[in-house]
Amino acid sequence: MKKIAVYTSGGDAPGMNAAVRAVVRTAINNQVEIVGIMRGYAGMIENDFIELNSRSVSNIIQRGGTILKTARSKAFMTSEGRAKAFENLKQQGIEGLICIGGNGSFTGAKVLYEEFGIPCIGAPGTIDNDLYGTDFTIGFDTAVNTAVEAIDKIRDTADSHDRVFFIEVMGRHSGYIALAAGVAGGAESILIPESQEDWHMMNDLFFGEKRSKKAFSIVVVAEGEEHGGAMQIVEQLKQKHPDFDARVTILGHIQRGGVPTAYDRVLASRLGNAAVEALLRGEKNKMAGIKNNMVVLTDFDDAIFKTKHLNPDLMRLVHVFNC
């Protein structure tokens, strides 16, 4: 390959810039021309390409967000939109792609290869940590640290006022952030989409025969919890128990931004480097991930469609500490 392109797609995640930097510098080290596609698939359709060199990615490893921007693209969902994207790639002389994003981004890359034969290697960039084939995704560690910092501060107020706080974290389909932040933040209860038992444990904590004697409590809720977000859950509890008093804090998009942790910078650097090297040796339609601290490749089909299960040891800790 003589020329490749890199793009970020889907939700932004801390560490994406570190991954872009690694991709660019690895390509240059292999005498391969590298360009950036602005705003993901939207920019691919609109022919929004920029030249990248070593200086282009100087002083970005510590920055949150993504210098290549990101956007959703309804046009790419159509065959006409994808045909336009391919035509632009062909005119630019691009022979392969590096996609930094989540399962939706990888789905787009997979379809592009199936229809037009453009090979792609993905680097998992999503705070949700929900992609099969990697122990950690780029941005997850930073998001958890952001959530834990907020939980620590809210705990001070909860303690001062002897109150119950329900803290909602991101995780529409995944409880990874809630589970990690809840354990690290000392939450008395954690509600996640993957577990039915957590709801019963939370009810026992506040309303059971052996309910907690603690003056205050912290409950961490994943936004995709089956009973609703934190606001809906508190309203349901108040309807059944009118005297129940609780406050709600929704952390929201604060978890996506900010300076990436050292772990996310190293992870992004390793996976960006591995993605380019895999592409140059002929791999395609695979995600570069980390398993047992070793870089591995996983087929897009598995990364997208297989279920990544929560760490059972952390789930066990939630049960042990719920007393």
Average pLDDT over every residue of 9-37 = 97
Q: pTM for this one?
A: 0.95
Distance between CA atoms of residues 101 and 112, nearest Å: 15
Nearest residue to 208 via CA among 197, 198, 196, 200: 200
Give SS3 for 223.
coil
- Whether the per-residue pLDDT at 112 is higher than 80: the answer is yes
Q: What is the pLDDT of residues 227-262, one digit of tens each?
A: 889 999 999 999 999 989 899 999 999 999 999 999
pLDDT for residue 186: 93
Continuous H helices in the chain: 16-29, 40-45, 79-92, 103-116, 140-161, 176-184, 197-207, 230-240, 262-280, 300-305, 312-321
Q: How confident is the model at residue 316 (pLDDT cuts 50, 70, 90)?
A: confident
- Whether the per-residue pLDDT at 15 is higher than 90: the answer is yes
Return the number of other C-beta atoms located less than 10 Å from residue 240's C-beta. 9
- Whether the per-residue pLDDT at 145 is higher than 90: the answer is yes
- Whether the per-residue pLDDT at 297 is higher than 70: the answer is yes
> Which has the higher per-residue pLDDT, 209 or 220?
220
Q: Set out the domains of the chain in order of their start, with CATH numbers.
A: 3-139+260-305 (3.40.50.450), 141-256 (3.40.50.460)
pLDDT for residue 210: 65
Is the Cβ–Cβ distance between 264 and 100 less than 8 Å?
no
pLDDT for residue 146: 98
On average, the pLDDT of the chain sits at 94
- Whether the per-residue pLDDT at 209 is higher than 80: the answer is no
Percent of the chain topping pLDDT 90: 82
- Whether the per-residue pLDDT at 153 is higher than 80: the answer is yes
- Whether the per-residue pLDDT at 62 is higher than 70: the answer is yes
User: Is 128 annotated in the active site?
Assistant: yes
* Number of residues written out for the chain: 323
- Whether the per-residue pLDDT at 306 is higher than 70: the answer is yes
- Whether the per-residue pLDDT at 270 is higher than 70: the answer is yes
Q: How confident is the model at residue 73 (pLDDT cuts 50, 70, 90)?
A: very high
Distance between CA atoms of residues 194 and 200, nearest Å: 14
Burial readout 271-300 (b: 16 or more C-beta within 10 A, e: otherwise): bbbbbbbbbbeebbbbbbbbeeeebebbbb
Percent of the chain topping pLDDT 70: 98
Which region among 5-19, 81-95, 134-148, 232-246 has the lowest average model confidence (pLDDT)? 232-246
Q: What is the pLDDT of residues 88-99, one digit of tens each?
A: 999 999 999 999
Average pLDDT over every residue of 268-286 = 98
User: CA angle, 13 as apex, 8 and 16 as ends, to 5°?
Assistant: 50
Return the structure tokens found at 142: 């930073």
Average pLDDT over every residue of 135-153 = 98
pLDDT for residue 83: 98
pLDDT for residue 205: 80
Cα 269 vs. chain centroid, distance in angstroms? Answer: 16
Is the Cβ–Cβ distance between 171 and 193 less than 8 Å?
yes
Return the structure tokens found at 231: 């606001």
Distance between CA atoms of residues 323 and 317, nearest Å: 11
The residue annotated as part of the active site, out of 12, 48, 128, 243, is 128
What's the start-to-end Cα distance of the chain, in Å? 59
Nearest residue to 220 via CA among 128, 318, 311: 318
For every residue of 51-78, DSSP letters joined together read E--TGGGTT-TT--S-TT-----SGGGS
The DSSP element (H or E) to which 164 belongs, if any, is: strand 164-169
Average pLDDT over every residue of 263-287 = 98
Q: What is the pLDDT of residues 164-203, one digit of tens each?
A: 999 999 988 889 999 999 999 999 999 998 887 778 888 8
